[in-house]
Amino acid sequence: MFCDYYNASNGTYCKRLRVMCPEHFKDPKVIDTDVCGCPLVKNVFDPTGEFCRAPKKSCLRHYQWEKLRRAEIDMERVRQWLRLDELVEQERSIRLAMASRAGVLGLMLHSTYNHEMVERITKANENGKLKETS
């Protein structure tokens, strides 16, 4: 999908879409009998189900339409991979939050305690003090 041509002088890789890289990717030669084949549309977005039947060499109306269509598909795949990566990261963070929830460390750090038990202890202490003073 990506060019990934290694440039030894810079020590870098070409990260353009392979079909759109003019330096490292050459289009195949067009044969005289090739037909353009671009899907025809009306009102810009409505496909008609027909295709351009002009010879590919002489059709200037749909110049390099295959290359652009492949680039669109590759970009959509890249978007889906990025979204998938984002969702995996989100899932990992949610799983981490779920694993750390209701742990002893969290209870100790946030001073969580049983209020009913504390009320009983304080009442018992107050009752004990009242009995001692009387």
Tens digit of pLDDT for each residue in 71-92? Answer: 888 889 989 999 999 999 999 9
Identity of residue 16: R
Q: What is the DSSP letter of 23?
A: T
The CA-CA-CA angle for residues 37, 72, 30, to 5°, reads 35
pTM of the model: 0.57
Ranges under pLDDT 50 in the chain: none
Alpha helices in the chain (DSSP H): 65-100, 104-109, 115-133
Rounded CA gap, 35 and 105, in Å? 70
Reading the block at residue 2, the tokens are: 């990506």
Identity of residue 47: P
Rounded CA gap, 57 and 32, in Å? 7
pLDDT given at position 106? 67
User: What's the alpha-carbon Rg for the chain, to the nearest Å?
Assistant: 35
